[in-house]
């Protein structure tokens, strides 16, 4: 499953849920308490009589004792909001069952049995978007993590694997397309205008991978021939008006299938592969076996309505869900504590795929930027947890950047230490050993250890310890010897005050400052608290390039001279290290500027050094524009705040904007010239055109801070001349942060041009909520009352409020109004969609790292939420952990 990658996704209109309030203290579930389920379920048959307001589900389960578990005289089947209409055991009606809370408990003698349980559900009332729900007249499902129990009583846990046969029947006019997992085995006409279809999935799977879709859809179809010569029928199902925007998704799917065969040796294993685009979805997409369900944002694209980033996102998410067919479906998780087993590994696989499709340099920088903006704050806050957690109250809260992105970095470190070929031997062994099983993180590590010939005994600490390691770096020079000293610490996190050192693979190179060359890249694994290496033959002190390619997810702490950073920003041949030097140069300046004792002379000297590095970047003819655009980007305000023990968001914002304005004024002629040059090359979808579009927007960002009137003119002209959404959105982003008539005119024109297109209107909401305009709070309040805004769809909610929560200057307004708005949203949203509501808690949970005045206001809002009766498990856990 892919967590939503951006705040903008389409809207819809499900109805309110009527789930009862949950207890004030939800139980804690602990990894150490895991026990195998006492019963196996070899086969499951599901019969659906479909209706938007009433669907009848008949579940027939073949059960038998599990020889690997303690025997039990009863079977406990999970439910959520269900009532059994009838219960049959071995063909006979049973009155001996009982309800314990939401679970159905049926007494059973030892031996094999057949259970038949009938339930009725109302998909139209399911605003939680978990289980079977209605979306714009169609029916669809989302079962990960625990949604299947909202459809039928079942042992809804990932270690209970079953083969599924599904029969659906419903009105043909309303549901002309009937889809489920696996291959379609039969179809026909029923009475009273109904029709039916039967699907069978021959591969055992857990209930979280079950899927059903019924609706009025059309398909883009194609085929793929596997490496063994089988033909697979491909289909991407959408509403009729969206069909023209599915070509990129289909091409991305075929590229993914071919790449997984060539890179990991994984061949697809069914006769069909279906993708369905849904307007209402809590996540980005879901990897249900043979029937992936996607948020429309990650399927639909054309140059008029989708940015270059949208195209990349579609390709990456399509790949991610397809790769899950092996890393998640054929080998699944034993329990939810092992979630990173499938998600971390699959994120790494989709990252490697994107690097091969689009180029390694820029993609690696984008991966690291996401990690630092989301996961690093998670690691240093009250919600910190290891990539294999020890406990939770609500599993939905652990679909986090730590599980996904840090999990991917941990597996990438294994690949770095083993090398690609030996790592592939380890993954082959993993799939061979555990195909058809529910595995653990330990199973994966052991397979890499055995297959790649590594000793990962100490490396396992990465799975059990939270927090971002800090590596202190010193380079000393004496005579002709340079001595590199590395020291690591892992900071305390909630529940883990003391940490042990972890193996940290660091790629490095030593540059001769006179020639600009180095002797070659080397790898060192720092596996203790401290290590030292001496290098001979350096008459002058070399320049150190460290953590090249971001070989380890750590924070590097070093006192590097400004001139060395300028040198690396201009000369490093490792693209990430060059980017990192530029980021380090700017972050160091901003951190010093918001501290005490920073003089005006210090500020001017710091800006001048950054200006020299930026001038070199703008003038470097050897750089492609995609990389130039990355090097031009200032570190985010959030990342700068992460470098401080306690941050003042107002001071950081002021210093960052002042630096941007200084650069915009100092480099105005160069920026204007670059914008003009790029404007002649920004049409088309090739890499050069994409790079031209990127630097055009970056030029406008700096000019808007240095010369707002000029920037407004140039942005308006770019908007009017735009032939792609990338150029149009980039111009509107800049205009949205500026006062004046052009801002108003272009926002109105944009809305009128795209009204009715949910994906683009989401962009319109987000651009205003994330803008630098001084009245951003008032704008968000007004947008919340806009006719196109609804709380009933998580995608539209994210497009406005997640964009606002990620806008530091507005969210951290000293009045506390931003905090109150997010708290109000959480309380209004929690009864409708608890998963989405809970994801708005972490921005408030950062209060300990914020200056005292704002911190008190943030904490007060968390306390207000915590005092509200009837909170969901999702929100309750996030709030109580945030308060500590």
DSSP letter at 68? T
304: tokens are 């008029």
- Taking the C-alpha atoms of residue 287 and residue 325, their distance in angstroms, rounded to an integer, is 7
Dist CA 43 CA 22 (whole Å): 33
Phi, psi of 81, deg, nearest 5: 75, 15
Contacts of 288 (CB under 8 A, 6+ apart): 141, 143, 181, 209, 210, 211
Q: Is the separation of the CB atoms in 181 and 205 below 8 Å?
A: yes
Catalytic, 25? Answer: no
Q: Please, what sign has the CA dihedral across residues 823, 829, 831, 837?
A: negative
How much helix, strand and coil, in percent to the nearest 5, is found in the chain?
A: 45, 20, 35
What values do phi and psi take at 746, rounded to 5? -70, -35
In angstroms, rounded to a whole number, what is the distance separating the alpha carbons of residues 278 and 150? 19
Pair 209, 194: CB distance under 8 Å: no
Other CB atoms within 10 A of residue 330 CB: 19
- How far apart are alpha carbons 846 and 372 in whole angstroms? 15
Peptide bond into 110 cis (omega under 30): no
Is residue 832 within a helix (H) or strand (E), and if so which, with residue range? none
- Number of Cβ within 10 Å of residue 66's Cβ equals 17
- C-alpha to C-alpha distance for 183 and 708, rounded to whole angstroms: 59
Q: 268-289 as b/e, with b when 16 or more CB fall inside 10 Å? A: bbbebbbbbbbbbbbbbbbbbb
Give whole-number Cα distances, 772 to 288, 736, 826, in Å.
40, 8, 24
Q: Which residues contact 715 (CB under 8 A, 6 or more apart)?
A: 700, 704, 731, 732, 734, 735, 738, 742
Selection from 447, 458, 399, 444 nearest residue 422 by Cα: 447
Measured in degrees and rounded to the nearest 5, phi and psi for residue 561 equal -55, 145
Q: Are 695 and 629 within 8 A, CB to CB?
A: yes
Q: How many residues are given for the chain? A: 884
The helix (run of H) or strand (run of E) holding residue 180 is: strand 177-180
Residue 192 tokens read as 């009273």
SS3 154: strand
Question: Terminal CA-to-CA distance of the chain, rounded, Å?
Answer: 29
Measured between alpha carbons, how far is 430 from 781 in angstroms, rounded to an integer?
A: 51
Catalytic residue among 198, 321, 580, 877: 321
CA distance 87 to 108: 13
For residues 184 and 171, give the distance between their C-alpha atoms in angstroms, rounded to a whole number.
19
> Cα(404)–Cα(611) distance, rounded to whole angstroms?
36
Half-sphere CA count of 637, side-chain side, radius 13 A: 26
The two counts, helices (H) then strands (E), for the chain are 31, 31
Cα separations (Å) of 313 from 5, 111, 299, 306, 479? 8, 49, 9, 10, 51
Tokens matching residue 556: 């590097």
Instruction: Give the sign of the dihedral formed by CA 628, CA 630, CA 635, CA 637.
Output: positive
Q: Which residues are catalytic?
A: 321
């Amino acid at each position: 499953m892919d967590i939503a990658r951006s705040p903008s996704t389409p809207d819809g209109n499900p109805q309110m849920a009527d789930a009862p309030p949950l207890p004030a203290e939800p139980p804690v579930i602990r990894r150490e308490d895991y026990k195998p389920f006492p019963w196996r379920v070899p086969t499951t048959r599901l019969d659906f009589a479909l209706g938007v307001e009433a669907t009848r589900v008949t579940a027939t389960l073949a059960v038998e004792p599990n020889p690997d578990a303690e025997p039990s005289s009863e079977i406990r089947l999970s439910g959520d909001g269900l009532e059994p209409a009838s219960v049959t055991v071995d063909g006979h009606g049973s009155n001996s069952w009982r309800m314990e809370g939401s679970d159905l408990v049926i007494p059973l003698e030892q031996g094999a049995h057949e259970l038949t349980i009938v339930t009725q559900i109302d998909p139209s009332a399911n605003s939680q978007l978990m289980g079977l729900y209605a979306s714009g007249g169609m029916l669809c499902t989302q079962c990960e993590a625990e949604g299947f129990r909202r459809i039928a009583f079942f042992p809804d846990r990932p270690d209970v694997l079953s083969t599924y046969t599904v029969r659906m029947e419903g009105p043909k006019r309303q549901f002309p397309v009937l889809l489920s997992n696996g291959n379609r085995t039969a179809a026909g006409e029923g009475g009273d205008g109904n029709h039916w279809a039967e699907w069978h999935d021959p591969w055992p799977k857990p209930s979280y991978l079950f899927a059903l879709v019924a609706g009025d859809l059309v398909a883009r179809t194609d085929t793929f021939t596997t490496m063994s010569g089988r033909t697979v029928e491909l289909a991407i199902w959408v509403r009729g008006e969206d069909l023209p925007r599915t070509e990129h998704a289909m091409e991305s799917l075929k590229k993914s299938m071919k790449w997984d065969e060539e890179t990991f040796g994984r061949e697809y294993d069914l006769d069909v592969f279906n993708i369905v685009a849904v307007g209402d979805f809590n996540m980005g997409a879901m990897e249900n076996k043979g029937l992936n369900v996607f948020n429309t944002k990650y399927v639909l694209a054309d140059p008029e309505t989708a940015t270059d980033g949208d195209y990349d996102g579609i390709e990456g998410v399509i790949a991610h869900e397809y790769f899950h067919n092996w890393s998640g479906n054929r080998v699944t998780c034993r329990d939810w504590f092992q979630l990173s087993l499938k998600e971390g590994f699959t994120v790494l696989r989709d990252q490697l795929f994107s690097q091969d499709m689009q180029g390694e340099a820029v993609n690696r920088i984008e991966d690291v930027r996401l990690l630092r903006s989301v996961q690093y704050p998670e690691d240093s806050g009250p919600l910190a947890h290891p990539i294999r957690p020890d406990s939770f109250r609500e599993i939905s809260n652990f679909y986090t950047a730590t599980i996904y992105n840090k999990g991917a970095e941990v597996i990438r470190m294994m690949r770095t230490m083993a090398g690609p070929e030996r790592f592939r031997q380890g993954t082959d062994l993993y799939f061979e050993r555990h195909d058809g099983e529910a595995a653990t993180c330990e199973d994966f590590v052991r397979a890499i250890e055995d297959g790649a010939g590594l000793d990962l005994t100490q490396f396992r600490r990465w799975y059990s310890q939270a927090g971002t390691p800090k590596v202190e770096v010193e380079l000393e020079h004496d005579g002709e010897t340079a001595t590199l000293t590395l020291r690591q610490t892992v900071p305390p996190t909630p529940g883990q005050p003391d940490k042990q050192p972890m193996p940290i693979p660091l790629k490095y190179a030593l540059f001769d400052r006179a020639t600009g060359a180095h002797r070659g890249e080397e790898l060192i694994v720092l596996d203790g608290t401290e290590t030292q290496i001496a290098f001979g033959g350096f008459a002058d002190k070399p320049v150190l390039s460290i953590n090249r390619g971001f070989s380890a997810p750590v924070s590097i702490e070093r006192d590097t001279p400004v001139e060395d950073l300028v040198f690396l920003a201009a000369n490093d041949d490792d693209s990430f290290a060059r980017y990192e030097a530029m980021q380090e140069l700017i972050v160091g300046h901003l951190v010093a500027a918001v501290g005490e004792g920073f003089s005006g002379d210090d500020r001017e000297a710091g800006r001048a050094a950054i200006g020299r590095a930026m001038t070199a970047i703008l003038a470097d003819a050897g750089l492609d524009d995609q990389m130039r655009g990355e090097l031009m980007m200032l570190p985010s305000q959030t990342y700068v705040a992460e470098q401080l023990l306690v941050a003042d968001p107002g001071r950081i914002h002021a210093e960052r904007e002042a630096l941007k304005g200084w650069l915009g004024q100092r480099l105005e002629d160069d920026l204007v010239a670059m914008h003009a040059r790029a404007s002649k090359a920004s049409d088309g979808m090739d890499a050069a055109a994409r790079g031209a579009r990127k630097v055009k927007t970056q030029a406008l960002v700096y000019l808007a801070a240095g010369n707002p009137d000029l920037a407004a003119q140039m942005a308006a002209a770019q908007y009017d001349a735009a032939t792609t959404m990338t150029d149009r959105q980039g111009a509107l982003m800049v205009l949205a942060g500026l006062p004046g008539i052009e801002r108003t005119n272009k926002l109105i024109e944009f809305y009128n041009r795209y009204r009715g297109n949910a994906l683009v209107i989401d962009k319109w909401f987000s651009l205003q909520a994330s803008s630098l305009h001084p009245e951003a709070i008032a704008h968000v309040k007004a947008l919340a009352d806009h006719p196109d805004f609804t709380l009933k769809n998580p995608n539209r909610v994210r497009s406005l409020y997640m964009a606002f929560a990620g806008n530091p200057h507005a969210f951290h307004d000293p009045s506390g109004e931003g905090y109150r708005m997010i708290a109000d949203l959480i309380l209004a949203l929690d009864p409708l969609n608890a998963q989405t509501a809970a994801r708005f808690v972490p921005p408030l949970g950062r209060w300990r790292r914020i200056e005292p005045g704002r911190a008190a206001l943030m904490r007060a809002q968390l306390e207000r939420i915590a005092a509200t009766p009837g909170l969901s498990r999702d929100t309750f856990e996030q709030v109580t952990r945030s308060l500590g």
